[in-house]
Structure 1
């Protein structure tokens, strides 16, 4: 008497191999294409070897689903024209230190969407097939995703932050953000994003530099050079803000300055600047939020000590 298909037959081996590339997940359509039937899927789920993720995908193990698998599940749930978008697309492209409550997926207007509270699946008039990268997981190309992440952010500050770290981490150059922004005709945050991109094109590489540059202008202080490359023997390093005419360096201390791998480099950079006879000031972002007046008074004091005088009214 012939036996039924074994869990370890070629179909299931092929399914496990494909699932390894997708965070342990396959869509129902993929399983059917491999010859695995609806009843076999049900049997594996009832035996608690597999788990359902939404109603369009199946997890081929019973442990915790990875973040990568969660992304694939969101795309499968969204349907054949779905793609990761905004912050989720940036994370898939390699963005670090940015988190989202739910995976964001976009589909075109009028698409049939199988809603699921687990995923943030939205119809958008901005959807364009030409913007989709289909190598690997379907996702919106990086410049488009970054701009949309800014447009759809919860706050203006989050919008500024996501654009800044996308540039800071090398995912997208500022000029590509600018080109992408030209496609946006109407949005309440469009002018803000233009201002942020202009700052990034001008050389800012961190959210703190953008805030400080704005405050310097507001106070009538001279503009600094940004991200200036200096060399000390065999060591190369960048200065955040530098006034060469007044022998002043201002370092913006974000959270990354507290990471262990940066402490030694920061100390060597500061010592090298001081040994060359220049003034080195530090401005932690927490200080920028809590006591900006005190810190900018110190900057002005150092500029005056270096010979700067405000223009006559």
Structure 2
């Protein structure tokens, strides 16, 4: 049995313990250092420590200033919320794992955040548990029961490995646009290797967003092959537009890979591969640039990811381009 820690040394021992976890720890971790349950309760009553759940204790002195000192505010905190420094996500992620139930692990975008993903915001923490596990629900935490749970990443916060987390993040995203964004960002920031993501996706039997996620993963991880398989003529037929007279994969300067599509009326459409410019900002840029281009030129540029998540908007522009250049 661990020798009890003297009252005068509790804070020093606790501060050393919570440092890797952003200022928090579990009661059992404190007990393992020699600080008994009664001593923990005494520190909480004295308001030197905070109880922020059934299992978790916060040491305010060790926490980032942005986190609430009122324990009742913790369940309403959000990772990536406005005004919240990214560094201060660490204690909230640990808290979610410790308080959600037996064997809980981070999953989806929350797992990717713990693995280093930056710039992707979410309004809740995603946690997964083995099906049948006892769980405790909290505001701001989405718990999913899974069988099997899936392979875990080594070290750090318990979390699902990055390839599977990327796919699940896309499946759980609030929109197709966000689903495409989290895939792009995970590969761009090297959170997941493209080959591993492709292999993991091929092993997924069911997905409610299969028609989107599969093509986007192909675009991001195997751009030239994916572009080569894109049937732009079928998109035109679906809109009752003339089929293109040319569809050819080309490589331009600086490694740019694009699909060169031409129509008999003189309109040319260049579809850029996902690696040409990352993220979804170029999607909005392309829509605006094309609006101007339609006034005086005959070349439209479309990011392939934009064609996946906003096909209607871009095909509307193609239809406008054909109409403006066709004899009346």
Q: Identify the TM-score tier after normalising by the shorter chain.
A: 0.5 to 0.7
The question of 1:115 aligning with 2:132 is answered no
Deviation at 1:203, TM superposition (A): 1.2
Structure 1 residues 188 and 50: CA distance shift in structure 2, 3 A: same
TM-score (norm 1): 0.67
- Give the distance between the partners of 1:118 and 1:108, measured in 2 at CA: 20
Q: Which moved more, 1:23-32 or 1:170-179?
A: 170-179
The question of 1:44 aligning with 2:43 is answered yes
SS of the residue 1:44 aligns to: helix
Give the aligned partner of residue 28 of structure 1.
27
Give the aligned partner of residue 266 of structure 1.
none
Q: Deviations over 1:72-122 (max 9, x none)?
A: 001111345221101100111122221111211111011122222242233
Task: Map residues 1-313 of structure 1 onto 2, 5 A cutoff.
Answer: 5-6=7-8, 9=9, 11-61=10-60, 63-65=65-67, 66-128=88-150, 131-203=151-223, 218-219=235-236, 220-221=243-244, 222-223=246-247, 225=249, 230=253, 238-239=255-256, 241=258, 243=260, 292=314, 296=318
Deviation at 1:146, TM superposition (A): 0.7
SS of the residue 1:21 aligns to: helix
Structure 1 residues 239 and 249: CA distance shift in structure 2, 3 A: farther
* Counterpart contact for 2:126–2:142, Cα < 8 Å: yes
Structure 1 residues 182 and 55: CA distance shift in structure 2, 3 A: same
How many aligned positions are there?
A: 265
Give the aligned partner of residue 234 of structure 1.
none
Structure 1 residues 173 and 298: CA distance shift in structure 2, 3 A: farther
- Give the distance between the partners of 1:15 and 1:132, measured in 2 at CA: 28
Deviation at 1:139, TM superposition (A): 1.0
SS of the residue 2:223 aligns to: coil
Structure 1 residues 295 and 202: CA distance shift in structure 2, 3 A: farther
RMSD: 4.1
- Give the distance between the partners of 2:233 and 2:121, measured in 1 at CA: 31
- Give the gaps of 5 or more residues in structure 2: 68-87, 237-242, 263-267, 283-297, 324-328
TM-score (norm 2): 0.64
